[in-house]
């Protein structure tokens, strides 16, 4: 069973908005890959264990750790303005993961 990482812009968005977007992306991924896929939870619940002015980098590190467990990255087609999503996509491409670009 292939694992899918959903890369979704989160900065400045409400929790409900993020969850709706992730569910929509999951529907599209299921359509593309069929039922034999597994989604990993890409919403990091932890908080940095130390004081930092760069929380976004800490969260990105956690996301990359989760991405390492997957064979597929599903992301929005136009993510160039979202630093974390852009980096996740670049990592996926450079390390040979399949990338599914989604228009929502």
pLDDT digits (tens, 9 = 90+) for 15-63: 899 999 999 999 999 999 998 999 998 877 777 777 878 888 888 999 9
Do residues 73 and 7 touch, judged by C-beta distance below 8 A?
A: yes
pTM: 0.89
For all residues of the chain together, what is the average pLDDT? Answer: 91
Looking at the structure, give the CATH architecture of the domain made up of residues 2-102: 3-Layer(aba) Sandwich (3.40)
**According to the model, what pLDDT value does residue 81 have?**
86
* 39, β-bridge pairs: 4
Greatest C-alpha distance within the chain: 43
**According to the model, what pLDDT value does residue 86 have?**
95
Kind plus residue range of the DSSP H or E element containing 4 = strand 2-7
**According to the model, what pLDDT value does residue 98 have?**
97
Q: How many CA atoms within 13 Å lie on the side-chain side of 27?
A: 8
Can you tell me whether residue 56 is helix, strand or coil? helix
**According to the model, what pLDDT value does residue 48 have?**
76
- Answer whether residue 91 shows pLDDT above 90: yes
Whole-number Å distance between alpha carbons of 4 and 69:
9
Whole-number Å distance between alpha carbons of 98 and 1:
14
């Amino acid at each position: 069973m292939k694992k899918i990482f959903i890369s979704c812009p989160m900065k400045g968005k409400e929790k409900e908005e993020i969850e709706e977007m992730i569910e929509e992306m999951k529907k599209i991924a299921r359509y593309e890959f069929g039922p034999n896929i597994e989604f990993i939870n890409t919403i990091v619940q932890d908080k940095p264990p130390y004081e930092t002015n760069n929380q976004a980098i800490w969260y990105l590190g956690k996301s990359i750790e989760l991405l390492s467990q997957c064979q597929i990255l599903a992301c929005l087609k136009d993510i160039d303005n979202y630093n974390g999503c852009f980096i996740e996509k670049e990592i996926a491409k450079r390390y040979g993961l399949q990338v599914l670009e989604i228009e929502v």
